[in-house]
Amino acid sequence: MRILVVDDSATMRRIIIKALNTTGFNDITEAEDGEDALTKLEGIDLLLTDWNMPVMDGLSMVKEIRRNASFANLPIMMITSQAAKKEVIEALKNGVNDYIVKPFTPATLVEKVQALSAK
């Protein structure tokens, strides 16, 4: 199970990775923005991404990924402070499979990752 964690905040990446590590997810790659992430998709089984990032934001990245048939079924979860209903709907409409609003508990994160990775 290879997971790509995309967030412009190194601290947030560390928090997410720590939560994943304690549950046995150890094969993790990091990217600091959408553009960086697009170069690291090969072999990834699950993508966790922030929304607001410089260079390329999470939603633009998701749209880019879903345009590519090879990544049409890659599970994607958005982890963001964009909590408005309108934004959640927009993300889901563009191919995000699940959604977590910051701040989140490690337990919530792990529960959602396990649900997504079981599909």
Q: Pick from 52, 81, 105, 117: which binds Mg ion (CB under 5 A)?
A: 52
Is 57 a binding residue for Mg ion by CB under 5 A? The answer is: no
CB of 70 vs Mg ion, minimal distance in Å: 26
Sequence letter at residue 62: V
Residue 50 makes contact with Mg ion by CB under 5 A: yes
Q: What is the DSSP string of 53-106?
A: -SSS-HHHHHHHHHHSGGGTT--EEEEES---HHHHHHHHHTT--EEEESS--H
- C-alpha 106/C-alpha 60 separation (Å) is 26
- Binding of Mg ion at residue 22 (CB under 5 A)? no
- Residue 102's nearest CA partner among 54, 30, 56, 48 is 48
Report the residue number, 1 or 10, with the smaller CB distance to Mg ion: 10
Single out the segment in contact with Mg ion by CB under 5 A; choices: 48-56, 62-70, 71-79, 100-108: 48-56
What is the binding site for Mg ion (CB under 5 A)?
A: 8, 50, 52-53
